[in-house]
Chain A
Amino acid sequence: MTTAESAGTQESTVDTLVSIQDLKVHFPIKRGVVLDRTVGYVYAVDGVTLEVKRGETYGLVGESGCGKTTLGRGLLRLVEPTSGHAWFEDVDLATLKGERLRKMRRRMQMVFQDPLSSLDPRQSVESILVEGMRAHDLDKSKESTRRRLLELLDAVGLPSTSLRKYPHEFSGGQRQRIGIARALTVEPDLIVADEPVSALDVSVQAQVINLLEDLQNEFGLTYLVIAHDLAVVRHISDRVGVMYLGGLVEEATSDALYAEPLHPYTRALLSAVPVPDPEVEDARERILLAGDLPSPANPPTGCRFHTRCPWKQEELCDTDRPELREFRPGHRVACHYAEDILAGRIQPHEVRAELVEEHGISPDMPLVGPASVTEVLE
C-alpha cells in the first residue's frame, strides 16, 4: 500500500510515524464450567493516546501488569483492540485485513524479552533469519540473501559461523542479537522491543543497549521500547511515557521527566529506583507507596492512582478521571493537582494500604475450574 492510496484518512505531520488514539484493549474474564459466562473485563489498556516520531526512541515504562505489552501488541494488531485507532504513517491499522495487514507488518517488527522462547529451537539461525525475508519476498537470490545475512550478523556482532548453529548453542545476549537480526531482515521502520534486555546480565545488557543505539543510527530505525526498568528507559529513550493501570499518566522527554516529574506516580517511581551510588542513596528521599497495584479488572474510580496517591485530595481525585493534558509544551500529565503539587501548595500525606483483590474477585469466592484466573484468561 502506498501512502497516496490512503491519503486523507488522517492528517499527519511528516515526522509522526505512529499515532495511537484512545486505544483500548479489554480482555473478557470467563467463568462457568465451560467458561461460557463473561463475569467482567480486564481493562489492560484503557484509553491511550500517543505519537511516536520517526527516528526517535519512545520508552514506555510502568509496573508489571499496567498494560505495556498489551499496548504494543494492540498497536501491531497481535491482539485485537476493543476500540480506538492506531495509525502507521497515514494508514489506519484497524482497517487493514489479510494480505494488506501482512504486508504492513513487515514494516513493524517486534523484539521479545526472552530470546530463547521466541526462537524456534529446531531451526538453524540461517533458517530463522531467512524465514521473514521469504515471507515478504525479500529472498531474491541465494547470493544476495547470503550477503544480506552476513551483513546483518556483522551489524549485530555475531560471527558468520553462527548461521549454521542453533539457538541453544548461544548465550542469552547472543540470542537477543539473533532476535534483533531477525527483526532487521525485513527492513522495518519501527521496532517494538518488549523488555529487550531485562532477561540479561548487566554486562551483557549494556552490550545490547549499545547495539540497539548503533543500529538505530545505522538503519534509521524508530523504536518503541517497553521496559519496567526506568533507568534503562531513561538511558535509551528520547521521550518516555509512564503507564499506570492501563493509562498514560505522564509523558515528557527523558530529561524533563527525570528533572521535573509532575505526576505523583512518576515521582514515586523515580524515587524508588536504586542508584548505584551510596551517597545518592543515603541522601535521597523516598516516596514509599502503600499497598499493591489495584487489579486492572477492577480499576479505582476517578484517578486510578488515588488509592495510593500521597497527594490525593478530597475533591475530584476519586470521582473524575484526569485527562492527559499538556502541562507545558512536550510535557503531558494526567493529574488534577499537578500545578499545586509542583508549587508545593499541597503536601503529601500518609496513605493506608488498601486490600487489593486479585482481578477483582474476592479470594473467598470459590473458583470454578482452574485455580488461577490468569490461567483461565490465557
Chain B
Amino acid sequence: MALLEVRDLSVVFQRKGEKPFTAVDGVSFDVDPGQTVGLVGESGCGKSVTSLAIMGLLPRRGNRVGGTATFEGTNLLSLSDNQMRERRGRDLGMVFQDPLSSLNPVISIGLQVTEVLQRHRGMKGDAAKRKAAELLDKVGIPDPTRRLSEYPHQLSGGMRQRALIAIALACAPRLLIADEPTTALDVTIQAQILSLLKELVTDTGTALVMITHDLGVVAGLCDEVNVLYGGKIVERAERHALFNHARHPYTHGLLGSIPRLDAPKGEKLVPIKGSVSDNIPWDNGCAFAPRCPNAIDDCRQTMPVLETDGPGQLRCHNPVELADAVREGAR
C-alpha cells in the first residue's frame, strides 16, 4: 500500500445561481516514500484544487469533495478540521507558489519555524532556536541566526520560499506537496530550490507531489508524471516514457509547443490550436476534442476512460501512433 493513495477525487464548485463546475474529476494516483510524483498541465486544469482538497484547505463552503485520499490508512478527507490541522503540522507539508501569502507577515521567520518545532516535535527554548537556525542554514539562507528575527517582507522571493521550505521541513513531513514552488522565482533561484527539494527526497525519503506547469521541471525531478486536462488525468507515465513517446495528443502537443534551449534556432514550434475556452464537457465526449488533431467521431460522443497502455495509462480514443510519438531529442 502506498503512502498516499488518492482515489476518484472530485471537487465540484457550486455557487448560488451558477451552474456547478467540476474542477477535479475522478483523479487517482499513488505516492510512495522517496518518490516524486508530478501533476502537470496548463492553468485551470485542476492542479491546485487537487492539492488543496488533499490537504483539506479548500474553502468550507461552495464546494463538494468526493473520493478518498488515504494517507497511511486514514482517509484525510474524512478528518475534522482540527485533526487535519494536526496532521498538516506533523506528517504533511505544503509549499505554495506565493510564499508571502503563506507566511504570517507579523511573526518573525524564526518564531514561525520554532513554533512548528515546539508544537510538533516538543522542542523547547534554545534547542528549538538552534534547530531553527540549522534548518534555515540547510535550505541555504545566508546568516541564518540573524535572519531568525526578520519578517517575511524583509526577505527576497527566493529567501521566502526557502523559509517556507524550512517551515515545512521543521515537522519532518513524510509527504510534501509543492504547488508551483518555483514559478515566481528567477531561473537561477529555481535551480537552487529544485536541487534542495531533490536532496530532501533522497536524504529523508520524503514523498513529494510536485505540481507545475513546466515540463522542464518535471523532466528533471519526477519519477512518475500525471498530465491533467480539464480536471482529469489524461496520461500517466514514468518520466522517460512520457518524454520519449508521449502518446496522448495533448501531452504530445505540449511537448511540441515548448521552445527548447537545446533546439537549433529556426525550428518551428507546433502549437496546439485554440485554448482551454474551446473545451467541451467531458460527459459529451473528450474535453480536448475541439483542439485535438487526432479527433475522430467517437471523441465527440463517448468519454474516453483512463486505460492501461504499456507501463502507463492513457485516456484517449485515438492516441498518437507509437512510431510518431517518439521524439528525436533535439540534441
Contacts and interface: CB of A to CB of B under 8 A. Distances in A.
A202 B270 CA distance: 11
Nearest to A286: B191
Contacts of B189: 63, 292
Interface stretch (B28-36, B50-58, B253-261, B306-314): B253-261
Contacts of B186: 63-64, 228, 293
Interface string B294-331: 00000000000000000000000000000000000111
Contact of B275 (A204, A209, A234, A355): A204
A246 B260 CA distance: 27
B156 A292 contact: yes
Contacts of A228: 186-187
A262 interface: no
Contact of A235 (B156, B159, B187, B269): B269
Given A275-B260, A278-B240, A206 B154 contact: no
A273 interface: yes
Interface in A189-243: 201-207, 209-210, 213, 228-232, 234-238
Contact of B271 (A207, A270, A274): A207
Contacts of A273: 187, 216, 261
Contact of A292 (B159, B244, B262): B159
A173 interface: yes
A232 B260 CA distance: 8
A289 B153 contact: no
B240 A231 contact: no
Contacts of B16: none
Interface in B191-216: 191-192, 194-195, 213-216
B265 A234 contact: yes
Interface residues of B, number: 60
Contacts of A289: 188, 191-192
B42 interface: yes
A276 B220 CA distance: 8
Contact of B261 (A202, A258, A278, A356): A258
B10 to A, nearest CB: 23
Contact of B190 (A174, A209, A272, A276): A272
A151 B153 CA distance: 49
Contacts of A229: 187
A209 B150 contact: no
B257 A268 contact: no
B329 A277 contact: yes
Contacts of A276: 215-216, 218-219, 243, 255, 258, 260
A255 interface: yes
Nearest to B217: A274
6 contacts: A235-B259, A258-B261, A273-B216, A278-B244, A292-B189, A353-B140
Given A201-B43, A255-B265, A277-B330, 11 more contacts: A202-B258, A203-B272, A206-B259, A231-B259, A235-B267, A273-B261, A274-B216, A278-B244, A280-B262, A292-B159, A353-B140
Interface of B: 42-43, 140, 142-143, 146, 150-151, 153-154, 156, 158-159, 186-192, 194-195, 213-220, 239-240, 243-244, 253-265, 267-273, 275-277, 329-331
Interface of A: 63-64, 171-174, 201-207, 209-210, 213, 228-232, 234-238, 254-255, 258, 268-282, 286, 288-293, 352-356, 358, 363, 371-372
